Amino acid sequence: MAEILDGLKVSKEIKAEIKVEVDKIIASKKRAPHLVAILVGNNGASKAYVNAKVKDCEEVGFQSSLVKFSSTVSESELLEKIEELNKDKSVDGFIVQLPLPDQVDQEKIINAIDPRKDVDGFHPTNFGKMALEMDTFLPATPFGILTLLERYNIETKGKDCVIIGRSKIVGRPMSILMGRKDFPGNSTVTLTHSYTKDIEEYTKKADIVITALGDPHFLKGEMIKDGAVIVDVGITRVDNDSPKGYYLAGDVDFDSCAAKASWITPVPGGVGPMTRAMLMKNTIIAYKTSVYND
């Protein structure tokens, strides 16, 4: 039976470590790190996620600001606000919560963010630095997965790692990071996706499987080998007859995979809390490297 990679526990440890740093900053009479979130529209999941980030900021002692726009916001209005935040010396990092409405070019918005304040790690400058193994902001979810593997001392060197999903936010950066010359890393990486024939052929041989599909219970126990490490990034609301009317499901069929795996992340309580913790980590990195705090 698999042991649990407890993202909730590790995220609390990381936030406690960050709070110690922030307390020292404030004790030295300097301002606290400041994170801003831009929220467009009334998407329930986006609102819940942004509210959780605001709560995280409170826990670690950051200043946080929430900028709200209606779903009818124009691209130019959004770009104007981003330019304002880029120039604001009191703001260390900011995020634009995705997805954005159809009238807004998502790539144009991401590209407009100052890479030095891009704590989501999505800007092409930061993505390129990551690919070249230079110091930069890592995308929060991959950063969280790396940190979870590191804290549990999961061996990755020389291991076969299969990643399911090739999104710019998780799958693609994860494939780069697991192959880098570092720990965690030094794995032999296979990136699979919707056009991969017979994904099971790859997952059965993998020492590590990282899945980011958004397809509930996709990965079954018969698709993995004994002793594999399973990291489940997916989280989907599935309707049921409970009082809530739904439950949260990962990409992994937890019970069948846990019976064969050596380590596994739960959903919820695995990768999700780590993503939020690493956003806090990126923000304090931005604060410490800011020219405005010299």
What pLDDT score does 172 carry? 97
Examine the pLDDT at 21 and tell me if it is beyond 80. Answer: yes
Measure the CA–CA gap between 66 and 84, rounded to whole angstroms: 14
Q: What is the pLDDT of residue 96?
A: 96
85 close to 117: Cβ distance less than 8 angstroms: yes
Fill in the DSSP letter of residue 156: -
Q: 183-233 pLDDT, tens per residue?
A: 999 999 999 999 999 999 999 999 999 999 999 999 999 999 999 999 999
Residues 161-175 have a mean pLDDT of 97
* Contact indicator for 148, 184 with CB cutoff of 8 Å: no
Do the beta carbons of residue 117 and residue 90 sit within 8 Å?
Answer: no
Q: Residue 19 above 80 pLDDT?
A: yes
Q: Is 237 left (phi over 0), alpha (psi -120 to 50) or beta?
A: beta
What is the pLDDT, as a whole number, of residue 294?
Answer: 54
Predicted pLDDT at 42: 86
Q: Categorize the per-residue pLDDT at 237 as very low, low, confident or very high, splitting at 50, 70 and 90.
A: confident
At residue 207, the pLDDT reads 98
Structure confidence at residue 49 (pLDDT): 86
- Name the region of 224 (left: φ>0; alpha: ψ -120 to 50; beta: rest): beta
User: Looking at 21-25, 43-47, 153-157, which range is the least confident one?
Assistant: 43-47
- What are 72's two structure tokens? 């009818």
Q: Going from the N-terminus, what domains does the chain have, and what CATH number goes with each?
A: 29-115 (3.40.50.10860), 140-272 (3.40.50.720)
pLDDT score of 293: 60
pLDDT band at 59 (very low <50, low <70, confident <90, very high): very high
Give me the active site residues, please. Answer: 53, 97, 120
C-beta of residue 202 within 8 angstroms of C-beta of residue 190: yes
pLDDT at 291 over 80: no
**Residues 271, 8 contacting (CB under 8 angstroms):** no
Element (H, E) at 202: helix 199-203
Q: What is the pLDDT of residues 85-106, one digit of tens each?
A: 999 999 999 999 999 999 999 9
* Per-residue pLDDT tens digits for 146-167: 999 999 999 999 999 999 999 9
Sorted by sequence, the CB contacts under 8 Å of residue 161 that are 6+ apart come out as 178, 187, 188, 189, 190, 206, 207, 208, 209, 210
